[in-house]
């Protein structure tokens, strides 16, 4: 999401802007535990390298989730390889502009002289091994197995000029959430109730060693096969700073916390030390199911039936943090910021932008179609779940999607026309809403007209993205009015 003219942020990962045309093909192995496809995954678009040509619709949500995770992990592994991260270590890189090639146009953070002249700054930690690192090996009568905790959280420790920041906030969901509200939002990443119980307890208790981090970021892309932790600190354009699907869930909240840091330390040059520590949960649930990942010489269920293995799992504890001495997970650098960065203005999400290259002869048709469909089907249902009261679509924005604007003809691999489609953002709010309340929503959806085998005309319908939901983002009501005024010359009735 973000600017309609957006380029992908890299060949490795993509900005939070958009969704792919058509439905991707699912071709990924199922992981050893379930993958969340619920609210935590809402709106997650695949990164650029993960996109397939339009093809058959996905068989089910689980297949789609497995495909997304597989491709996201492949992208993060390529970043690891291109950055040359050594075995057993991690490294940090940084960049200071919105549109950046993550694997190439970044700089080594450790010992760097980082001078923020504009409004963008991002850090990323990349580990050679997976963020979900083994915590023990079991050897027993049933066989041997490596045990890995489930990771949804990364504790971020921060010190500036020798002073540690120990707010301990959980970054998830809306930026003005209290810690308890953020924890409840964070639980949406979990695959099942067993994980939710353990993660909620871990987030409330904090790290097992008693330390208090600056914050804990929670997301659904720290799990199986992941190597990256992206920390967007500031941005002129909120959505343009978010790497999707990696940091979407916590980025807005994190940037608010960084605004507080800058206001406290003030303009000038500072010595900054940052440490990221992935934190996992592990245990035997009340229903005798194990919350962990098991790699062994026997099927996981064989180990779960073994009393010795179950005792071993329980002995490891349920709230596991990465050691503070882990190689490369701490980085120290010099940071220079300006007065404009320290005034305490926190970033807010504004409306998406209209594509400059949308075909002129299609604007009136597409705007009218999208407005007529916005309150129906998946986008209408999402609006009713996100916006209090009785939400209605107040405005339509026609964006660029994957570098393409206008109505697209989608064919199968044999070249047969399947349907026509275009993408739209609907901006929703309820009548009489407080302009400064973050209760409006912008939702991206597909307008689709299927090809009829008999050649009969068909109607346009509103749809999601295969098994993936529409993309829903909260915003303040006043930015809906701002977008309507901004786009007045484009709206057909105003032309």
pLDDT at 53: 26
pLDDT of amino acid 14? 35
pLDDT on residue 256 = 97
- Secondary structure string (H, E, C) spanning 9-62: CCCCCEECCCCCCCCCCCCCCCCCCCCCCCHHHCCCCCCHHHCCCCCCCCCCHH
pLDDT at 42: 20
- Inter-axis angle of helices 193-205 and 179-186, to 10 degrees? 150
Per-residue model confidence as pLDDT tens digits over 39-51: 222 222 222 222 2
Residues 116, 262: Cα–Cα separation, whole Å: 12
In what helix (H) or strand (E) does residue 448 lie, and over which residues does it extend? Answer: strand 440-450
Tell me which DSSP letter residue 7 carries: P
Q: Where are the beta strands (DSSP E) in 356-404?
A: 392-397
Rounded distance, CA 131 to CA 361, Å?
A: 49
Query: What is the per-residue pLDDT for 72?
Result: 58
Please give the Cα distance from 194 to 291 (Å, whole number): 7
The whole-number pLDDT of residue 286 equals 65
| Cβ burial, residue 61 (10 Å; 0-12/13-18/19+) | middle
User: Can you give the pLDDT at residue 17?
Assistant: 34
In tens, the pLDDT along 428-467 reads 999 999 999 999 999 999 999 998 776 666 899 999 987 6
- Angstrom distances, CA of residue 301 to CA of 288, 296, 308, 330: 11, 11, 13, 38
From first to last of its 495 residues, the chain has per-residue pLDDT tens of: 333 222 222 333 333 333 333 332 222 222 222 222 222 222 222 222 222 222 233 334 445 455 555 655 667 777 778 788 888 899 999 999 876 556 567 899 999 999 999 999 999 999 988 899 899 999 998 999 999 999 999 999 999 999 999 999 999 999 999 999 999 999 999 988 999 999 999 999 999 999 999 999 999 889 878 888 999 999 888 887 887 678 889 999 999 999 999 999 999 999 999 999 999 999 987 666 788 888 888 888 888 888 899 899 989 999 999 988 888 999 999 999 999 999 999 999 999 999 989 999 999 999 999 999 999 999 999 999 999 999 999 999 999 877 779 999 988 888 888 899 999 999 999 999 999 999 999 999 999 999 877 666 689 999 998 767 788 889 999 999 999 999 999 888 644
Q: What is the pLDDT of residue 77?
A: 73
d(CA 88, CA 202) in angstroms, rounded, equals: 26
pLDDT of residue 19: 35
């Amino acid at each position: 999401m973000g600017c309609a003219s957006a380029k992908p942020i890299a060949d490795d990962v993509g900005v939070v802007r958009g969704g792919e045309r058509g439905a991707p093909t699912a071709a990924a192995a199922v992981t050893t535990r379930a993958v969340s496809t619920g609210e935590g995954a809402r709106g997650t678009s695949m990164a650029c390298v993960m996109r397939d040509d339009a093809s058959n619709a996905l068989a089910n949500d689980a297949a789609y989730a497995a495909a997304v995770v597989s491709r996201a992990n492949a992208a993060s592994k390529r970043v690891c390889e291109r950055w040359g991260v050594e075995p057993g270590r991690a490294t940090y890189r940084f960049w200071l502009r919105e549109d950046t090639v993550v694997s190439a146009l970044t700089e080594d953070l450790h010992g760097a002289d980082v001078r923020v002249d504009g409004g963008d700054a991002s850090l990323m930690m990349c580990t050679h091994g997976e963020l979900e690192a083994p915590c023990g090996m079991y050897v027993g009568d049933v066989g041997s197995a490596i045990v890995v905790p489930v990771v949804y959280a990364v504790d971020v420790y921060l010190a500036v000029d020798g002073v540690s920041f120990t707010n301990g906030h959980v970054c998830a969901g809306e930026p003005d959430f209290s810690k308890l509200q953020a924890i409840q939002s964070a639980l949406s990443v979990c695959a099942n109730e067993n994980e939710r119980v353990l993660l909620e307890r871990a987030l409330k208790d904090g790290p097992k060693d008693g330390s208090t981090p600056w914050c804990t970021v929670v997301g659904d892309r720290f799990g199986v096969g992941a190597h990256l932790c992206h920390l967007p600190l500031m941005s002129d354009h909120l959505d343009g700073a978010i790497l999707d699907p990696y940091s979407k869930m916590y980025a807005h909240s994190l940037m608010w916390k960084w605004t507080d840091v800058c206001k406290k330390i003030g303009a000038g040059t500072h010595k900054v030390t940052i440490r990221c520590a992935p934190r996992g949960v592990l245990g035997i649930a009340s229903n005798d199911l194990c919350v962990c990942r098991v790699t062994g010489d026997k099927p996981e269920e064989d180990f779960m039936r073994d009393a010795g293995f179950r005792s071993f799992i329980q002995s490891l504890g349920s709230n596991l943090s990465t050691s503070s001495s882990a190689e490369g997970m701490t980085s120290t650098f010099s940071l220079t910021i300006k007065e404009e960065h320290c005034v305490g203005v926190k970033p807010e999400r504004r409306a998406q932008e209209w594509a400059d290259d949308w075909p002129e002869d299609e604007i009136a048709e597409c705007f009218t179609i999208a407005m007529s469909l916005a309150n129906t089907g998946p986008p209408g249902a999402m609006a009713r779940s996100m916006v209090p009261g009785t939400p209605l679509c107040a405005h339509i924005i026609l964006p660029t999607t994957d570098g393409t604007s206008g109505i697209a003809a989608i064919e199968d691999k044999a070249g047969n026309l399947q349907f026509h489609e275009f993408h739209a953002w609907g901006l929703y709010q309820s009548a009489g809403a407080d302009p400064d309340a973050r209760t409006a929503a912008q939702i991206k959806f597909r307008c689709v007209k299927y090809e009829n085998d008999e050649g009969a005309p068909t109607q346009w319908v509103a749809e999601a993205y295969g098994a993936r939901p529409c993309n829903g983002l909260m915003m303040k009501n006043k930015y809906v009015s701002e977008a309507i005024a901004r786009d007045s010359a484009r709206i057909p009735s105003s032309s």
